[in-house]
Structure formats: C-alpha cells, structure tokens
Amino acid sequence: MFYVSCSMRVVSGIQPSGQIHIGNYLGAIKQWISLQEKNECVFFVADLHSLTVPYEPKELQNKIIEKVIAYIAAGLDPEKSIIFVQSQVKEHTELCWMLNTVCPIGELERMTQFKEKSKKFKNNINAGLFNYPVLMAADILLYKAHAVPVGKDQEQHVELVRSIAKKFNQKFGETFPEPKSMLPKIGAKIMSLADPKKKMSKSDDPKSYISLFDEPEDIQKKIMSSQTDSGKDVIYNITKKPGISNLIVIYGLLADKTTEEIEKQFKGKNYSEFKKSLSKTVIEYLEPFRRKQKELLLRDVYVKEILNKGKLRAENIAQTTIQEARKKMGLE
Ligand code: TYM
C-alpha cells in the first residue's frame, strides 16, 4: 500500500452478491479503514453492477443492507466515510452513458473479467456485463477520485478507467484526474480454500471462503479441511506449496507477523498444528465483527439513516461533476 501525507479523494465499492469474505476484507476493506482517517472517502454498494449476472430480485435489498452492515461492522465509520448505495445516486448511470461514448469497444473486449464471466454465464452475456467497466469509470470519475483501493482482480478495470478519463479530457478539456488503483502489498489476491490456484470468490461454494461473519465452528471446519499440498513443513513457496502459502499470507495479515516469523514459529510442527493456530487467530480477529453485526442487525433505522445521509453527501459531489461534464459535452 502507498501512503501519502496530503488528503486525497478515495472511491471504492463491493457488489452485493454473495457474502463478504476475508479476501474482500484483506484486499479492499482493510485499506478503506485506514484510508478513512486522513482522506475524503466514498464507499458504496455496487448494486447496479450485480444486475449483470443472474440474481434474485426479491433478495437484492436484503443483500445490500447486509453489505452496509458488513462495512460498518468491519470498521468503516459513517462519520468519516460517505457510505451509500450506487443506484440511489442517479448520476452514476448518467455519467456511465456519457463515458460509453468515449470508450472504444476494443478496450472492453480485452477485459479478463468479461472473458471469464462470459464463459461462466454463457446464456446471459448481456450488454451490461460488457459495459461493466464503464459503469466503474462513472463510479470513480463522478467523485474525481485520485485513488481506488481494490484487490488485484480489479486492477485492469482501474487501468481502463484511467484511459477513459484521459480520452474524455483530450476530447472535451481537462475534467477528470486519472485515478490510480491501490493494492495492498500483501493480500491483493487471497486464494480459495478449496482450490488454492483459484481466487477466493463470493460466488463459489461457501466452503472455499471464510465469510466475515462465519461462526467459530465453521471457520475451524473450513480451515482444517482447506486444501494443502503434500508435505508437512510450514514453509512459504507459492509455486510448490500454493495452499499452505495462502494460509501463511492470511495468518501473517491477521496476526501481524512476517512470513519468516511464522515459518520459525511452526518449525518442526505439522500442517494440522498450524491450521489449528490459524483457526484460533481468524476466530479471534473476526469476533468483534460478529458482535457488531448482531447489534447492527437490530438497528434497522440507524442503518437506513446512514444510507440516507450518505446518499445526500454523495449527490452533492456527483451533481457538481455531472453538471461540469454535461457542459463540456455540449448538453447544457
Ligand atoms: P467485488 O465485489 O468482486 O470485490 C470487492 C473487492 O474485493 C476485492 N477482492 C479480493 N481481494 C483479494 N483477494 C480476493 N480473493 C478478492 N476477491 C475480491 C476486489 O478486488 C474488490 O476490491 N467491480 C467491483 C466493484 C466496483 C468498484 C467500483 C470497485 C464497482 N464499482 C468502483 C472500485 C471502484 C467488484 O465487483 O468487486
């Protein structure tokens, strides 16, 4: 992660699909929490993005609220950060349309995530899935963000956002800063517990990830049965031992230990002893998150208030930018 001394505008979001897991936390949310101390932060639930793959409309509102609760339970402070739901600020979709007209199709065709999702959802390759990164560009540029804290899988999308900003500025005059993605040095790509060659993903089997609110027994079960390589030494080697290396990364980040310290601590011990210790660490780390979540689940009105306030604060910035962009494009 890079640190800057002066305040900057920071934007990021998470889709409401599936459950927030430790990959999302270590790749994105953990950075958000430290960034909110000194920067102007805008964090939202990307509900419009989640419409691009099959979903259950009746469940969407609950899933959105669940994510807002997860943000706060994990440490986002609504007094410091602007927290809201993407679709409630209409300027996101308006700017998305405008940016569609400066984004070349060829650049969208190159996106790895589009290629992967088109394979996974063969019967639903909709235009929204294709234009997904343009909506991300609108999310980011609407707030004139400088930094976008995300995991590795979103890096390519943020690169495209830079390119869209540059094209818009060239065509219509300097308007948007070119935002940079901000990846944590360690933990930008946490791997699946079931298959350490694949990224941990909300849309996979729950056994493959640890949700922020999993009960202690489930955390223990998932870690103890996670796929590890043959051999018994607790040593970091990403090519030869991807399973144990992924667990070492998680352990290090949650226990605040370096790889060397962990290797030394478990010298002469086997995987099972290491996994037991990791389970304990994860359970203890997530305990306050579970407690806070239970409290917030009973405070419906409070959560809605946060979202209403967040929407107003976000709109305030969004409306100024959209007016500027409309003028520059000749719409006013
Ligand atoms: P989403 O919902 O897939 O993921 C949310 C955040 O979690 C990170 N992440 C991971 N980090 C480390 N290891 C993993 N296994 C892992 N899996 C996911 C993601 O990189 C992301 O930061 N398109 C975005 C949401 C979005 C957005 C935006 C983000 C919409 N508009 C504007 C930033 C700015 C997405 O689907 O994230």
The catalytic position among 30, 67, 189, 199 is 199
Q: Is 199 one of the annotated active-site residues of the chain?
A: yes
- Bridge-based pairing of strands 9-14 and 81-85 is unpaired
pLDDT of amino acid 6: 67
Model pLDDT for residues 104-155, shown as the tens digit of each residue: 999 999 999 999 999 999 998 999 999 999 999 999 999 999 999 999 999 9
Evaluate whether 195 touches 205 at the Cβ level (below 8 Å): no
pLDDT-based confidence at residue 88 (cuts at 50, 70, 90) = very high
| Pocket lining: 13 vs ligand 1, CB cutoff 6 Å | yes
DSSP tally for the chain: helices H, then strands E? 14, 5
Length of the chain measured in residues: 332
pLDDT of amino acid 230: 86
Least confident of 5-9, 16-20, 32-36: 5-9
Q: Is 202 one of the annotated active-site residues of the chain?
A: yes
Domain 2-188+300-328 has CATH 3.40.50.620: yes
Pocket test for ligand 1, best of 1, 14, 53, 66 (most atoms within 8 A of CB): 14
Which residues are CB-neighbours of 304 under 8 A, at least 6 positions away? Answer: none
User: Above pLDDT 70, what percent of the chain?
Assistant: 98
The CATH number assigned to the domain with range 213-294 reads 1.10.240.10
Q: Is 80 one of the annotated active-site residues of the chain?
A: no
Distance CA 143, CA 314 (A): 8
| Pocket lining: 322 vs ligand 1, CB cutoff 6 Å | no
**Arithmetic mean of pLDDT over the chain:** 96
Model pLDDT for residues 179-215, shown as the tens digit of each residue: 999 999 999 999 999 999 999 999 899 999 999 999 9
Instruction: Give the H/E segment covering residue 49.
Output: helix 47-50
User: Above pLDDT 90, what percent of the chain?
Assistant: 96
> Is residue 5 over pLDDT 70?
no
> Is residue 2 over pLDDT 90?
no
pLDDT of amino acid 251: 98
Strand partners, 42: 11, 82
Q: Which amino acid is at 135?
A: L
pLDDT of amino acid 115: 96
Nearest of 303, 309, 310 to residue 82 by alpha carbon: 310
Q: How far is CA 146 from CA 11, 85, 195, in A?
A: 8, 21, 35
pLDDT-based confidence at residue 318 (cuts at 50, 70, 90) = very high
Helix 155-172 and helix 300-328, axial crossing angle in degrees, nearest 10:
40
Q: How far is CA 125 from CA 54, 199, 207, 225, 319, in A?
A: 10, 22, 27, 35, 32
Interval 298-308 mean pLDDT? 97
Model pLDDT for residues 163-172, shown as the tens digit of each residue: 999 999 999 9
Q: Which two tokens stand for residue 96?
A: 């998305």
Distance CA 272, CA 292 (A): 31
> Is residue 229 over pLDDT 90?
no
pLDDT of amino acid 308: 98
Distance 14 CA to ligand 1 centre (A): 5
Show the 3-state SS of 279-308. Answer: HHHHHHHHHHHHHHHHHHHCCHHHHHHHHH
Distance 108 CA to ligand 1 centre (A): 18
Q: How far is CA 131 from CA 150, 159, 270, in A?
A: 19, 15, 48
pTM, whole model, 2 decimals? Answer: 0.96
Q: What is the dihedral of CA 158, 159, 165, 167, to 10 degrees?
A: -150
pLDDT of amino acid 7: 86
Nearest of 230, 307, 293 to residue 72 by alpha carbon: 293
Interval 35-50 mean pLDDT? 98
Evaluate whether 174 touches 128 at the Cβ level (below 8 Å): no
pLDDT of amino acid 274: 98
Q: Which two tokens stand for residue 332?
A: 């006013």
Q: Which atom of ligand 1 is nearest to the CA of 155?
A: 20
Q: Which two tokens stand for residue 221?
A: 């079960």
The catalytic position among 202, 222, 275, 311 is 202
Per-domain residue ranges of the chain? 2-188+300-328, 213-294
Distance CA 38, CA 198 (A): 34
